[in-house]
Amino acid sequence: MFVSTAPSVATPSGVDPRGPQLTAAVTAVVLATVLLVPASAATLLVGVQAVLFAIGALGGVQRTPHAWVFRRLVRPRLSPSAELEDPRPPQFAQAVGLAFTVVAFVGFLAGATVVGQIATGFALAAALLNAVFRFCLGCELYLLVQRPRPAASAG
């Protein structure tokens, strides 16, 4: 009998890539609205979006309200996904979105509307890339950060 002594590494369950794409579309609508409404409403909306990003960043993309809607209402009406993706890159992307929306929220709260709008614009651009082209900028950043680096040569 063979017994492995290698440590057990839990592989995270995969996510249907169409779920984060739907989330990005909803997020893009919210963030575009932030740029169109008065600062008081923008502060509230970007604060709500920051909370949604925090749920995804801390709990995982599978635990967001958007994921629940996708699982319950959208996915049953679609054909099965050809492949599932690792949830860690989208979770990291949620953390990046959280950082931008926190900057935007603080900017709007402090009366620095332009700072809030610029931070919102960056988050909106990333959300649109994912929603329209299925190109997740935060996911790509995650992969760059995780890439092994060559060992420094002595000498």
Residue 27 is assigned to a structural domain of this protein = yes
- pLDDT by residue (tens digit) across 90-103? 999 999 999 999 99
Q: What is the pLDDT of residue 72?
A: 95
- pLDDT by residue (tens digit) across 3-37? 444 444 454 589 999 999 999 999 999 999 999 99
What is the residue range of 94's domain?
Answer: 18-76+85-144
- pLDDT by residue (tens digit) across 33-62? 999 999 999 999 999 999 999 999 999 999
Residue 36 is assigned to a structural domain of this protein = yes
Residue 137 is assigned to a structural domain of this protein = yes
Count of Cβ atoms closer than 10 Å to residue 34 Cβ:
29
Residue 9 is assigned to a structural domain of this protein = no
Query: For helices 113-133 and 18-36, what crossing angle results, to 10°?
Result: 150
Residue 109 is assigned to a structural domain of this protein = yes
Residue 33 is assigned to a structural domain of this protein = yes
Q: What is the CA radius of gyration of the chain?
A: 18
Residue 91 is assigned to a structural domain of this protein = yes
What is the number of domains present in the chain?
Answer: 1
